[in-house]
Chain A
Amino acid sequence: MSFQVSKSGDVTLIEVEGQLIVGNRQELKQQVLEQLEDGDQKFVIDFANTGYIDSSGLGVLVSLSKKIREQGGELRLSSLNEDLRTLFELTKLDTLFRIADTKEQALEGF
């Protein structure tokens, strides 16, 4: 798993490439927490190039969302493939996150 970080206005966009799983979830968590400490509050994590997220990866997203909200910010997700959407729906995490079809839609009006 690797990820690219860019800025779109005051929104931090993180594009994940590869699987977000128990073996690498801390890398993403550390990246977002560092951005948060630097004062960033609006985050979009894009999964257009992600095949699979396991329960540990889902847990990291839940944890990050909570920490970002505590700082007055928001985490949005985008570009979930069919399998990822299934996992979010099964776990009802689709009710916890704002999920956009594309990163452009996630950035709109943020």
Chain B
Amino acid sequence: MNNGIGSGLVLELPTDVRSIETAVDYVMSRCSACAVHARRLHLNFRVGLTEALSNAMLYGNAHDPSQSVVVEVSIAQGRLQAIVRDHGSGFDPRAVPDPTLPENLSRPCGRGLFLMRQLLDEVWYNERGNEVTLVLRLDSGGPFEGGAEA
């Protein structure tokens, strides 16, 4: 498969939210030949990766410019996978409230993890909570499918 990722792609980014757009654009360019529906790549995967990087910098590394964020992107067994790792002490993803509940709808934050779960096929954190794995299945048929259980 000519996917532009080869055996894998690893990026180490500074904790600077201004670097996210460029990094995600680069990953998207390397994934452009993936055998996945274009909208699932450019909406579902793009949004999920952007949110994971944003969370890693804002909350994981707490804006600390001396800390980096590592992204590992790979394709194997019909799955496009991204692992995003920060240097923070981690968090409990189960403790993040549902932003779509009426009492949370007017909150200005708290939608990143929700969007990841809605748009990716799988989302899970390591035990420490400082590394998230995002999976987009390449064989999913619909143009807009997602909904992780994590």
Interface residues, chain A, with chain B CB atoms under 8 Å away: 19, 21-24, 52, 54-56, 58-60, 62-63, 66, 83, 86-87, 90-93, 95-96
- Any A CB within 8 A of the CB of B17: yes
Q: A52-B47, A54-B50, A60-B108 known; A22 and B20 CB under 8 Å? A: yes
Which residues of B sit under 8 angstroms from A91, Cβ to Cβ? 99-100, 111, 114-115
A4 to chain B, nearest CB (A): 20
Q: Are B107 and A19 in contact (CB under 8 A)?
A: no
Give the residues in chain B near A95, CB-CB below 8 Å.
105
| Inter-chain residue pair count (beta carbon < 8 A) | 68
Smallest CB-CB separation from A95: which chain B residue? Answer: B105
Residue pairs across A and B with Cβ atoms less than 8 A apart, 5 shown, are A21-B20, A54-B50, A55-B54, A62-B108, A87-B47
CB-CB nearest 3 A-B residue pairs = A55-B111, A59-B108, A63-B108
Residues of A within 8 A of B17 (CB): 22-23
A55-B20 in contact given A22-B58, A62-B107 (Cβ < 8 Å):
no
Given A62-B107, A91-B111, 6 more contacts at CB 8 Å? A22-B58, A59-B108, A63-B108, A87-B47, A90-B119, A91-B100
Closest to A91 in B: B111
Q: Which of B21, B39, B43, B106 is close to A96, meaning CB atoms less than 8 Å apart?
A: B106
Q: Among the listed B51, B99, B144, which residue makes an inter-chain contact with A54, where contact means beta carbons less than 8 Å apart?
A: B51
| Contact flag A56-B107 (CB < 8 Å), given A23-B20, A91-B99, A92-B100 | no
